[in-house]
Homo-oligomer: A and B are copies of this chain.
């Protein structure tokens, strides 16, 4: 069954990311094959879950043996679309934005921050790790003339919707939003939120109710 036949759940996609990291580690440890049982044990999942997730995309294993580590890693990279380079823009070079620009891991993973925007005159034109900060006022045309497909928004929450509107207008279809607000975008634009306050609230809930939520 082809991918487009099925709607893949958010959980499955997240677990693919987990499998991918586990396989990177297994490759380092020189494993040639890995069983769903062992992979599940390492990542605290169930073997059936692992097999079911992978089966949505094909038959990658060998009965009696397990999955070939390097090959499966490649297949998952293909499924996730990380077997290529993605050009990324960052909006807002403040506390968190600066940390992101300096962060080497994204680059290693194939997510390249190629453009940076800000509205602070003192920052515009300055050099951040080899990237010149652009004026936010030019964002629509600059993104349109670029190869950028993913935008990270790291501006104060009061500004995030305005920035998102521009980003959408520039034709971008994928946004990673770090501001703690719910962006309103058209249906064909995917937004993922990274909301640390929500995670802290989750911890607070768990401690208060001494419940481990699922």
A interface residue numbers (CB < 8 A to B)? 3-4, 7-10, 13-14, 16-18, 20-21, 43-44, 79-82, 86, 88, 95-96, 98-100, 102-103, 105-106, 109, 111, 149-150, 173-176, 180-182, 187-188, 190, 192, 194-209, 211-214
Contacts and interface: CB of A to CB of B under 8 A. Distances in A.
Contacts of A98: 95, 99
B99 A14 contact: no
A102 B97 CA distance: 13
B211 A3 contact: yes
A41 to B, nearest CB: 11
A116 to B, nearest CB: 15
Contacts of A81: 201, 204-205, 207-209
A201 B111 CA distance: 9
30 contacts: A3-B211, A7-B211, A8-B211, A8-B213, A9-B213, A9-B214, A10-B213, A14-B198, A17-B201, A17-B202, A18-B182, A44-B182, A79-B205, A80-B205, A81-B205, A81-B207, A81-B208, A95-B98, A95-B99, A96-B103, A98-B99, A106-B196, A109-B197, A150-B203, A173-B206, A176-B200, A176-B203, A187-B212, A190-B202, A194-B196
A95 B95 CA distance: 9
Contacts of A18: 182, 198
A202 B95 contact: no
A126 to B, nearest CB: 18
Contact of A208 (B20, B80, B102, B209): B80
Nearest to A193: B199
A160 to B, nearest CB: 13
B201 A82 contact: yes
A181 B99 CA distance: 19
A66 B175 CA distance: 34
